């Protein structure tokens, strides 16, 4: 009861926001102990299209409902994105399995796939100069690759580290990337399968499992040619 009275006094006296925040931070269980106080508080509305044009705040109940709508919307959008990505991955796996020579595998990765997945680039980073030049792959020295490699079959999705200069001289603005550590079977040295996007595509780990699955397929395909 005391806390509820205090809240009313704080509102009536128009105490500064900093003082209110300070009080709530020092009393984290305030609304648990005083649930009725929530009925006296208004909350900001992210989207007031469903309300009066002049309305910028809503009761706690409506605020909760509005936020639940946002959560549900995000779940549906993620599910839709994953469904489309899964479909594209399956189609791409079928295509790559049908290829019978290594040159066409690299052409398919570099030229056929980026537009399919709305990416700026898909390529392989290797320290093997001969193979890099022969198939127009990205060449980086072994030291640079080892800074990223970690362990075989590792997949990292993150913002681009410009200091590593993986995408330099490609005339493409890459903001985020997915990097898969390939085995040594084909290149006989550490190498990376890289996916580059101009936006935040790889910052929330969307479709992580699908990209990992596809990367494993690419690795097995390259391993197939290393045995020939």
225 in Cβ contact with 186 (< 8 Å) = yes
pLDDT tens-digit profile of 153-211? 999 999 999 888 899 878 888 999 999 999 888 888 889 999 999 998 898 777 888 89
> Residue 75 falls within a domain, yes or no?
no
> Residue 85 falls within a domain, yes or no?
no
Same domain, 117 and 183: yes
Domain that holds residue 135: 99-226
Helical spans, DSSP H, in the chain: 2-12, 17-26, 30-33, 60-98, 102-107, 113-116, 129-135, 142-149, 208-226
Same domain, 149 and 222: yes
pTM for this entry: 0.65
> Residue 76 falls within a domain, yes or no?
no
Same domain, 108 and 40: no
């Amino acid at each position: 009861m005391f806390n509820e009275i205090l809240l009313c006094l704080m509102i009536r006296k128009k105490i500064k926001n900093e003082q209110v925040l300070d009080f709530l931070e020092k009393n984290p269980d305030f609304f648990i102990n005083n649930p009725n106080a929530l009925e006296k508080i208004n909350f900001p509305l992210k989207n007031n299209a469903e309300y009066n044009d002049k309305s910028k705040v809503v009761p706690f109940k409506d605020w909760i409902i509005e936020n639940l709508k946002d959560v549900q919307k995000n779940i549906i959008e993620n599910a839709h994105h994953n469904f489309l990505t899964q479909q594209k991955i399956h189609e791409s796996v079928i295509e790559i399995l049908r290829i019978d020579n290594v040159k066409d595998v690299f052409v398919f990765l570099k030229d056929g796939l980026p537009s399919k997945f709305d990416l700026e680039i898909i390529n392989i980073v290797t320290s093997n100069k001969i193979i890099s030049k022969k198939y127009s792959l990205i060449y980086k020295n072994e030291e640079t690759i080892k800074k990223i490699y970690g362990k075989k079959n590792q997949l990292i999705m993150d913002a681009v580290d410009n200091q590593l200069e993986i995408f330099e001289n490609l005339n493409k603005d890459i903001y985020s990337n997915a990097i898969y550590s390939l085995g040594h079977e084909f290149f006989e040295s550490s190498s990376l399968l890289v996916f580059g996007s101009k936006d935040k595509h790889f910052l929330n780990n969307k479709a992580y499992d699908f990209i990992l699955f596809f990367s494993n397929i690419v690795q097995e395909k390259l391993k197939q040619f290393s045995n020939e």
